[in-house]
Amino acid sequence: MKISTLWYCFLQGLKNIKRNLLFSLASIGTIVACLFLFGIFYAIVVNFEVIMHQMEESVAITVFFEPGISQEQIDAIGEEIRVRPEVNTMDYTSPEEAWAEYSLKIYDDPEMVSQAFGTDNPLKDYATYDITLKNVEDQTEFVKFLEGLEGVRLVKNSQVTAATWASINSLVGYASVGVIVILLLVSIFLISNTITIGITIRKEEIAIMKLIGATDFFVRTPFIVEGVTIGLAGSAVPCVLLYFMYGMVMEFMVKNFSILFSWLTFLPRNEVFHTLIPVCLLIGIGIGFIGSIVTTRKHLKV
């Protein structure tokens, strides 16, 4: 197809938007609203996932050893654990460190502890490894591995906490998919209605064009241009709004909820929008393209 023909189809698509300006604006407004909600939902979900990952990493597994085990055996067990791909962090607590920490919690006076116990260490068999995992869902299998190691007496973990975090992650994932699908379907429906109105208005003109030999591609292209343009415009606006809003919200929270930021990490704006902007634009263009293709195939039988 010649460049002049493509340019003609492009201009006709823009004219279609102008002819049906009210309906076009309604479609753009709907896409703006849908993608604005999608952007808010996306920003919340990605930050929630980061926070959830932090919470998962705080779910520690503690490994206790058989009485009388040598330090060499403990080190060997530690090497077996350290090379496992599930392991995120692993910290060793010696019997001396365990007793020092415990005595500080129970007794206020270190001198009294020294007088009462001297050089004896009541926790001499309480060396431990504290382990966090990259994914809390791997905890069950990993605990079975630890319990099978020779020299391990007890593996202390929280199955309930791990199961809770795993359930919440699954719930958030399903909810995300559901909301996105609903928003996309609503947007496609409205663009389809807008293009249907444009086809109805130009039905006689389209019939004449086909009678004199215009191809289906030539007739459909302006409507596809119309749909894609509406989708692009509808996706660009919420990207701009959300970009500035996210920065303002983060600034407000830092000023007024500094305690929250001291123990929780939120994603910086550029990291969120590095993905969100192209996704929104692609969704907008995709909505416009799909809506126009479906509508023209259904209604351009003249």
**Domains of the chain (ranges, CATH numbers):** 3-55+164-299 (no CATH), 60-157 (3.30.70.3040)
As a whole number, mean pLDDT of residues 272-282 equals: 88
For residues 158 and 83, the model is more confident at 83
pLDDT band at 101 (very low <50, low <70, confident <90, very high): confident
Tell me what the pLDDT averaged over the chain comes to. 76
Burial class of residue 221 in the structure, from the number of CB atoms within 10 Å of its CB (0-12 exposed, 13-18 middle, 19+ buried) = buried
DSSP the chain: --HHHHHHHHHHHHHHHHHTHHHHHHHHHHHHHHHHHHHHHHHHHHHHHHHHHHHHHH--EEEEE-TT--HHHHHHHHHHHHT-TTEEEEEEE-HHHHHHHHHHHH-S-HHHHHHHHTT--TTTT--EEEEEES-GGGHHHHHHHHHTSTTEEEEE--HHHHHHHHHHHHHHHHHHHHHHHHHHHHHHHHHHHHHHHHHHHTHHHHHHHHHTT--HHHHHHHHHHHHHHHHHHHHHHHHHHHHHHHHHHHHHHHHH-HHHHHH-----HHHHHHHHHHHHHHHHHHHHHHHHHHHHHHH---
pLDDT given for residue 2 in this prediction: 58
pLDDT band at 194 (very low <50, low <70, confident <90, very high): low
pLDDT given for residue 285 in this prediction: 85
Q: Would the pLDDT of 302 be above 50?
A: no
As a whole number, mean pLDDT of residues 85-91 equals: 87
pLDDT digit string, tens, across residues 206-243: 666 666 766 767 777 777 887 788 888 888 998 999 99
- Taking the whole predicted model, whether its pTM rises above 0.85 is answered as no
pLDDT given for residue 275 in this prediction: 87
pLDDT digit string, tens, across residues 3-50: 666 666 667 766 767 776 777 777 788 788 878 888 888 888 788 777
Highest mean pLDDT among 41-55, 134-148, 150-164: 134-148
Q: Would the pLDDT of 1 be above 60?
A: no
d(CA 221, CA 14): 11
As a whole number, mean pLDDT of residues 255-273 equals: 74
Q: Would the pLDDT of 300 be above 70?
A: no
Q: Which of 194, 196, 179, 172 is nearest to 283 (CA)?
A: 179
As a whole number, mean pLDDT of residues 111-116 equals: 58
